[in-house]
Amino acid sequence: MTAFELIRALAHDTAIGIVVTDPVIEPPGPTILYANAAFGRLVGRELDDIVGQSPRFMQGRETRRETLDTFHRALAAGERFHGYFTNYRPNGTKYRAEIDCRPLRAADGRIESFVAFEREVLRRLGRPAGNASGRYELTSVSNDTLTGGLRALGVFEHS
Ligand SMILES: Cc1cc2nc3c(=O)[nH]c(=O)nc-3n(C[C@H](O)[C@H](O)[C@H](O)COP(=O)(O)O)c2cc1C
């Protein structure tokens, strides 16, 4: 079983958005190979309209170019990326997403695909706590098994 197959088997019912792309990072890639139902709800689209697209379709005016460049560099270097984005749903509403993206490697070290765990966060009003996660709060709390497992694995860092 590849890492991708394992994720697909576990991702179905979790409340965290999970999306897997191919390893092609230059446009028109990366291409979405799989997204779970929670990802469809996060981005406001049917899964049939998501698979085959590049994740850039969520970007808009307030999506920071600087953050995208950092993301692009991390993908090119085969490193993990953790950050916060402003993205848009097809009806024009914007939302903040926390993204934790990692390469999935074959046994020989080659990158086979990328997986991102994504969830909606709200910017906290008032003075931020020290680190970036102190500036955001979750829009919903999930307690399903995979969410607990991802927390144990350090995905999103601060649960
Ligand atoms: C698995 C995966 C998930 C991604 N999810 C998002 C996302 O939710 N929102 C977003 O704006 N970009 C997302 N991206 C980033 C874009 O696909 C792209 O890599 C980014 O815009 C930087 O590359 P560019 O400078 O070529 O546009 C994702 C990338 C990968 C590999």
Q: What percent of the chain has pLDDT over 70?
A: 94
Which amino acid makes up residue 37?
A: A
Total number of domains constituting the chain: 1
Which pLDDT does position 146 carry in this prediction? 78
Look up the CATH number of the domain holding residue 45.
3.30.450.20
Give the predicted TM-score (pTM) of the model. Answer: 0.89
Ligand 1 within 6 A of CB of 19: yes
Distance CA 157, CA 90 (A): 29
The domain containing residue 86 runs over which residues?
A: 3-152
Q: Is 157 contained in some domain?
A: no
Could you identify the atom of ligand 1 that is nearest to the CA of residue 20?
1
For residues 29, 32, 33, 36, the Cα torsion angle rounded to the nearest 10 degrees is 170
To the nearest whole number, what is the mean pLDDT of the chain?
Answer: 89
Q: Is 126 contained in some domain?
A: yes
Structure tokens at 106: 């074959």
Q: Is 158 contained in some domain?
A: no
Q: Is 107 contained in some domain?
A: yes
Q: Is the pLDDT of residue 58 over 60?
A: yes
Residue 100's H or E segment, with its range, is strand 94-105
Residue 6's nearest CA partner among 104, 142, 101, 99 is 104
Ligand 1 within 6 A of CB of 97: yes
